[in-house]
Chain A
Amino acid sequence: MAVPSYATRGERIWYYLFRVICAAIFLFLVGPLLVIIPLSFNSEPYFTFTDSMLALKPEGYSLRWYQEFFTSSAWLNAIKNSVIIAIASTFLATILGTTAALGLSSRNMPFRNTIMALLISPLIVPLIISAAAMFFFFSRINLTQTYLGVILAHTALGIPFVVITVTATLSSFDHSLTRASASLGAGPVRTFFKVILPLVTPGVVSGALFAFITSFDEVVVVLFVSGPEQRTIPIQMWSGIREQISPTILAVATMMVTLSILLLTTLELLRRRSERLRGLSPG
């Protein structure tokens, strides 16, 4: 979008002004995330840049909030809970979601659109409503304040992501490959593991990543369904922000931003691999 040679002066001014406006909006988007990174190395218990930090003096910076995080039993326990719940619910959501996506992508699937709408619904219904509904229902069957309750709830929330990504991958899947495999004598199970699975793996993995991050980041449902034993990282952050806010929160936030950068990179690599496998783009 370079300035064309025939542009008038007004257009040139507008062209550069537009860039400045966009830069400001990008700053609004990313700036806050970048501000907290140096703040988390603050040696004082403040949420702002101290004079010694601005002067770039080494004594203005420290790792004390990270140390506090890694030595606090509450936070370590929260990590353990988050990982257990996220892995279990991702596993369930991925298995159930992938099988269902295989069925949904079949041309013979009855009531396809209705079922699809139902499977996506946990994504549409606001979290507070899902949380209220699950809380009321789970308290009738004694599932509140249990790991199982939280895991089931998170599985339901993660399922739409798996279904969406895997059906998207399958939509460009060449079904003559399964027929070829069958005509060469492979049974359905062998066809699935040797032909279908390798081709849809990128979709399955990115769906699983979405489900994982959903569970890892989810706070509303856990807030209502879990008990004191199932405190996760987001719950710990939530009560930290509400009760006594210390820069430990910023250290956690910085680590979470790093985690999301890693996940984002993984997803981008998966997307490229999937496109390459399907022959959509060279290299």
Chain B
Amino acid sequence: MTQNDMGQAPVLTTADGLPLKTSLMRTTRRHRIRAFLLVAPLLLFLVVAFVLPILDMLKRSIENPEVHNHMSRTVEALEGWDGESIPDEPVFAALVQDLVEGGEARTIGTVASRLNYEASGMRSLIMKTSRRAGRIEEGPYKAAVIDIDEDWADVDTWRLIERESDPFTLSYYLSAVDMRYDAEGNIVDQPDYLKIHNALFIRTFWMSAAITGLCLVLGYPIAFLLANTPLRYSNLLMILVLLPFWTSLLVRTTTWIAILQQQGVLNDLLVGIGLISTDNRLQMIYNKTGTMVAMTHILLPFMILPLYSVMKTIPPHYMHAARSLGARPFLAFRRVYFPLTIPGIGAGSILVFILSIGYYITPALVGGQSGIFITNFIAYHMQTSLNWGLAAAIASILLFVVIAFYLVYNRVIGVDNVKLG
């Protein structure tokens, strides 16, 4: 009654006279700031060492600075060009100036390579014109340049330069999926002899799916055995799963080379027991078989561990109940046990599939020509063909695919439930 008489509840205060609510909020805020400050150094580190590089790669896959930066006068002079006729004298004058300057600064080579990705022959055209342009003393430049090479009288050459003058381009993505711009700027398929990437993407996906299937077929019985054996034995058996999991990837790949190669252990064994003659040794490595066997071996623990952790939670009386209600063992398994393991199957399969499509080392070492993945072409474009934009575009496509599958995985199992051994 006294409270009603006062009209309102008394404000609770702490010892120093502050209202309790304010004090609590202040403390909570301090805790939040403290928690955030603890995370901040790592966050900053990862942004610099990991997130920025990824963003930089995404940017590199669309950026197109070569023509824009190193032929800026030509690009400017081309503004307002109708795109139908050969450009006029001012454009040629700008071209000569750009080519001469670029030749002295040695930047013209990057322009030549860039344009050559789009139309072969552009490299020699640019380099040749750049070398000879220095000798053109005075105008008219148009006739002099066309005299160096007839291609400058071709409207397509100018259309290409104008199209590539945009500082951003989709052409790396197009060539990552075996397409290109034609002379008119329409998107068309690459000619058949230049098609390589789509076949590799498709191979990467179907082989990864096959590897995932193999892992499931081999991993399911093992996980079942581990989950239904007394702890004493299952701990020992678990070591047999974890040992390969912990062994170096290169070591495991090496062992498969030692076993599967033509003068290797398995072929010797087959010859030894007379199953094949020594002239007909099987080619089991440096092809698709090699990649499949080695990758299945390497990824199998990633299937077994999630399956095991799901099966461990299924109480054994469910099966007993099914049996006592009259179900034959197979029916009881199919109708009771198997449906309960589906979350584990989902998690394990997505995990193995994600890991598999990103594998580089094993296909490169045991895949030969027919067993390599799209990842090997990322490395090829980075190290051999030096087409970094294309490498970045392929890597970005792969990254989007992985992120999509990862979001599904997160839905199925949740990132907090990642278990390590």
List residues of chain A with CB under 8 Å of any chain B CB: 1, 11, 14, 18, 21-22, 25-26, 28-30, 32-33, 35-36, 39, 46-49, 92, 96-97, 99-100, 102-104, 106, 108-110, 113, 115-130, 132-138, 140, 152-153, 155-156, 159, 161, 163-165, 210, 213, 216-217, 219-220, 224, 234, 237-238, 241-242, 245, 249-250, 252-253, 256-257, 260-261, 263-264, 267
Most A Cβ at <10 Å: residue of B39, B243, B261, B395? B39
Closest chain B residue to A249, Cβ basis:
B254
Task: Give the 4 A-B residue pairs with the shortest CB-CB distance, closest first.
Answer: A126-B358, A103-B38, A137-B53, A100-B42
Name which of B44-52, B79-87, B94-102 contacts chain A: B44-52
A133 contacts B395, C-beta separation under 8 Å: yes
List A contacts of B388 (CB < 8 A).
136
B53 contacts A133, C-beta separation under 8 Å: yes
Which one of A32, A103, A165, A250 contacts B252 once the chains associate, using CB atoms below 8 Å?
A: A32
- List B residues 379-421 near A (Cβ within 8 Å): 379, 382-383, 388, 391-392, 395, 398-399, 402-403, 406, 410, 415-416, 418, 420-421
Contacts A33-B247, A124-B406, A260-B246 given: A103-B35 contact, CB under 8 Å? yes
* A to B contact number (C-beta, < 8 Å): 263
A140 contacts B329, C-beta separation under 8 Å: no
B222 within 8 A of A: yes
Q: Complex formed: what's the CA distance from A76 to B382 in Å?
A: 29
Q: Complex formed: what's the CA distance from A163 to B39 in Å?
A: 11
Q: Complex formed: what's the CA distance from A241 to B265 in Å?
A: 17
Q: Complex formed: what's the CA distance from A155 to B42 in Å?
A: 10
Which one of B36, B53, B259 contacts A35 once the chains associate, using CB atoms below 8 Å?
A: B259
B263 within 8 A of A: yes
Beyond the given pairs A123-B418, A264-B246, 14 more chain A to chain B contacts, judged by CB atoms under 8 angstroms and listed by A's residue number, are: A25-B222, A35-B265, A103-B35, A110-B35, A113-B415, A118-B43, A124-B403, A130-B54, A213-B246, A219-B361, A224-B382, A253-B251, A257-B247, A260-B243
Contacts A36-B254, A99-B41 given: A263-B360 contact, CB under 8 Å? no
Q: How far is the CB of B14 from chain A (nearest CB, A)?
A: 16
List A contacts of B365 (CB < 8 A).
238, 241-242
List A contacts of B26 (CB < 8 A).
none
Contacts A125-B54, A128-B395, A264-B243 given: A159-B42 contact, CB under 8 Å? yes
B148 within 8 A of A: no
Name which of B70-78, B127-135, B233-241 contacts chain A: B233-241
We find that the number of chain B residues with CB closer than 8 angstroms to chain A is 87
Q: Complex formed: what's the CA distance from A128 to B416 in Å?
A: 24
Closest chain A residue to B267, Cβ basis:
A48
Closest chain B residue to A140, Cβ basis:
B56
B268 contacts A29, C-beta separation under 8 Å: no
List B contacts of A113 (CB < 8 A).
415
List A contacts of B46 (CB < 8 A).
118-119, 121-122, 156, 159
Pairs A–B under 8 Å by Cβ, sample size 17:
A1-B228, A28-B297, A35-B255, A47-B264, A92-B45, A109-B35, A115-B39, A117-B410, A119-B46, A120-B415, A121-B50, A128-B358, A133-B57, A134-B49, A137-B56, A159-B45, A267-B421
Which one of B243, B253, B398 contacts A129 once the chains associate, using CB atoms below 8 Å?
A: B398
Contacts A128-B360, A128-B395, A137-B52 given: A96-B221 contact, CB under 8 Å? no
List residues of chain B with CB under 8 Å of any chain A CB: 28, 31-32, 34-39, 41-43, 45-46, 49-54, 56-57, 60, 218, 221-222, 225, 228-229, 237, 239-244, 246-259, 261, 263-265, 268, 297, 300-301, 329, 354-355, 357-361, 365, 375, 378-379, 382-383, 388, 391-392, 395, 398-399, 402-403, 406, 410, 415-416, 418, 420-421
Closest chain A residue to B32, Cβ basis:
A108
B240 contacts A106, C-beta separation under 8 Å: no
Closest chain A residue to B252, Cβ basis:
A32
Q: Complex formed: what's the CA distance from A260 to B357 in Å?
A: 26
Closest chain A residue to B381, Cβ basis:
A132
List B contacts of A119 (CB < 8 A).
42-43, 46
List A contacts of B410 (CB < 8 A).
117
B248 contacts A256, C-beta separation under 8 Å: yes
B250 contacts A237, C-beta separation under 8 Å: yes
Q: How far is the CB of A44 from chain B (nearest CB, A)?
A: 12
List B contacts of A35 (CB < 8 A).
255, 258-259, 265
Q: Complex formed: what's the CA distance from A117 to B51 in Å?
A: 12
A136 contacts B259, C-beta separation under 8 Å: no
Q: Complex formed: what's the CA distance from A29 to B36 in Å?
A: 44
A136 contacts B416, C-beta separation under 8 Å: no
Closest chain B residue to A224, Cβ basis:
B382
B257 contacts A126, C-beta separation under 8 Å: no
Closest chain B residue to A255, Cβ basis:
B251
Contacts A47-B258, A132-B395 given: A30-B240 contact, CB under 8 Å? yes
B222 contacts A36, C-beta separation under 8 Å: no
B222 contacts A261, C-beta separation under 8 Å: no
B264 contacts A48, C-beta separation under 8 Å: yes
Q: How far is the CB of B255 from chain A (nearest CB, A)?
A: 4
Q: How far is the CB of A48 from chain B (nearest CB, A)?
A: 5
List A contacts of B265 (CB < 8 A).
35, 39, 47-49
Closest chain A residue to B418, Cβ basis:
A164
Q: How far is the CB of A145 from chain B (nearest CB, A)?
A: 14
Q: How far is the CB of B167 from chain A (nearest CB, A)?
A: 17
Q: Complex formed: what's the CA distance from A283 to B10 in Å?
A: 54
Which one of A11, A32, A249 contacts B259 once the chains associate, using CB atoms below 8 Å?
A: A32
Q: How far is the CB of B406 from chain A (nearest CB, A)?
A: 5
B50 contacts A234, C-beta separation under 8 Å: no
Q: Complex formed: what's the CA distance from A3 to B62 in Å?
A: 63
A100 contacts B254, C-beta separation under 8 Å: no
